[in-house]
Amino acid sequence: MTIAVGRWARHNLFASPASSLLSVVSIPLTLYVGFLAARWVLFSAHWAVVADNLSVLLIGTFPADQVWRAWTAGAGLSALFGMTIGLMLLTRRWKGYAVAAALLAVAAAVSYGVRLQWAAGALGCLAVAFCACAATNRWSWIGRAMGIGWLVGVGAICALLAPAGVDRWGGLLLSVLVTVIAALLSLPVGIALAFARNSRFASLRLASTGYVELLRSVPLVCTVYWSWIIIPLVFPPQVHIPDLVRGVAGFVLFYAAYAAEYVRSGIQGVPQGQGEAAQSLGFSALDQSFIIVLPQALRAVIPALVGNVLDLFNNVPALFIIGLTDFLKAGQTVLANPQYSSAQYEVYVFMFAAYLVIGSLISYGARRIEAKMSRGVR
């Protein structure tokens, strides 16, 4: 055992003089930094700040008496995510780890002062996600209905949360909702743009190319701000379009351009022979595009599209320029309160960790999808 470790060390850490020097310098440094960080996280940090303000961080300025709506929405989203994950993963293998990790996280949170009802709610959402995942594994028709499922589910969640006032949505719930809605809406627009780019009509090609190039050259904050200004001008004054809707419109316009580029590269990746085979079988051009080419193109670029969704999620904070309180802004709002303004590091580390966990999960998901796809192709 020690011999194996020694050989591993010799090969991986001390293979050459330069490598040995790097190892000798960086290993103690890493351990020291790690020790300091662990000591801060476990003992010195005032996590109570986070625990006390959890409602602001998670749902922003949502009215307190209607929190049940937020919880239901959270459960709904958990179910949808669970079903999507169930499409890709089998629960059997990691069931134990997931349950253990969830319980551990909740226990840690409670020990740092999170109120029991929040902990219970979080556990409930995780349980819903888990069951949805298992259900999808068991009954495959759920997986097939996912497309409609997402649209209907998100629509229902929006309808559920709307009566509380769309302007009051905030926090992590808002971040996730904006990501999901913008991703769902930008994909069809992106697909339409990609096909328009390859169409045989020059005017469509020109319009599509112009749109995509324009939107990819302009910052997201510009697009969001632009749609925030333009939309009320276009609609008659009696119709009040909430800020959030205008902001989401800006996101959709922006990310549709990126989705269009990914889908276009996917279309180009579908071998020429596919289209020719479809033609000789008598498919019309439209059928050929949507039944033969599009599914293959999408399969090829799903990892890139998932990366696009992650990018979307990470850029939701841009909504601060039109005055919306997403997860990041909520954290800054907490710090603006003089009572908590000294807890800068705690709040930012918490948000950073939350984003890291979510982002890593999404990246991991994209990698798993990619691995699964390439296995099928071979």
Partner 1 sequence: MKPDQLSDRSAEFDPRGEGVVSQLKLAARNSGRFGDASARTPDAQRRLRRLARTRSAAIQALILISIVVAAVAFLGLIWAGLQRHGIGFSLDFLDQPAGFNLSEGLTIAKGAHGLTLVPFNSQQTYAQALLAGLYNTLVVTVISIALATVLGVMVGVGRMSGNWVVKNWAWAFVELVRNTPLLIQIIFWYFAVMLQLPSLADASLLHGALIASRQGVFIAWLAATPAAFRYAWFAGLAAALLVAAVFVRTRRWRHTALAAAAAILALGLAICGWPFSVDMPEASAFSVSGGAGFSPEMASLIIALGVNFASYVAEVVRGALQSIDKGQWEAAAALGLGHREALWVVVLPQAVRVIIPSLGNLYVTIAKSTSFAIAIGFPDMFSVYGTVANQTGRALEGLILVMVVYLLISLSISAVVNAYNRRVMKKGAR
Partner 2 sequence: MSAMVQMHKLNKSYGSFHVLKDIDLHIQSGEVVVIIGASGSGKSTLIRCVNGLEHFGDGRLVVDGIELMPSQDGFGTSRKELAEIRREVGMVFQHFNLFPHKTVLENVMLAPVRVRRWPQARAEATARRLLERVGLRDHVDKYPSQLSGGQQQRVAIARSLAMEPRLMLFDEPTSALDPEMVGEVLEVMRELARSGMTMMIVTHEMGFAREVADRVIYMDHGKVLEQGQPGTIFDHPSHERTRAFLSRVLTH
Which two tokens mark 334?
Answer: 């907490």
Which residues contact partner 2 by CB under 8 A?
7-8, 10-12, 15-16
Distance CA 372, CA 306 (A): 14
Q: Residue 358's closest CA among 77, 69, 11, 53?
A: 77
Output the smallest distance, CB 209 to partner 1, in A. Answer: 13
Which two tokens mark 192?
Answer: 């339409």
Beta-carbon contacts of 335 under 8 Å, excluding residues fewer than 6 positions away, are: 341, 343, 344, 347
Residue 308 interface partner, choices partner 2, partner 1, none, CB cut-off 5-8 Å depending on type: none
Binding segment toward partner 1, per CB under 8 A, in 45-53, 57-65, 195-203, 298-306: 195-203
Q: Residue 190's closest CA among 284, 121, 266?
A: 266
Per CB under 8 A, does 121 bind partner 1? no
Which two tokens mark 175?
Answer: 């971040």
Distance CA 139, CA 154 (A): 22
Q: Residues 334-373 vs partner 1: string with x where CB under 8 A? A: ----------xx--x--xx--xx-xxx-xx----------
Beta-carbon contacts of 23 under 8 Å, excluding residues fewer than 6 positions away, are: 13, 14
Residue 35 interface partner, choices partner 1, partner 2, none, CB cut-off 5-8 Å depending on type: none
Binder to partner 1 among 102, 184, 207, 373 (CB under 8 A)?
Answer: 207
Binder to partner 1 among 314, 368, 370, 373 (CB under 8 A)?
Answer: 314
Distance CA 24, CA 359 (A): 32
Output the smallest distance, CB 222 to partner 1, in A. Answer: 5
Task: Map the footprint of partner 1 across residues 216-245, applying CB under 8 A.
Answer: 216-222, 225-226, 229-230, 232-235, 237
Output the smallest distance, CB 298 to partner 1, in A. Answer: 21
Output the smallest distance, CB 3 to partner 1, in A. Answer: 18
Which two tokens mark 227?
Answer: 């749609």
Per CB under 8 A, does 202 bind partner 1? yes
Distance CA 124, CA 118 (A): 10
Distance CA 210, CA 217 (A): 11
Residues found near partner 1 in the complex (CB under 8 A): 12-13, 15-16, 19, 22-23, 26-27, 30, 200-204, 207, 214, 216-222, 225-226, 229-230, 232-235, 237, 310, 314-318, 320-321, 328, 332, 344-345, 348, 351-352, 355-356, 358-360, 362-363
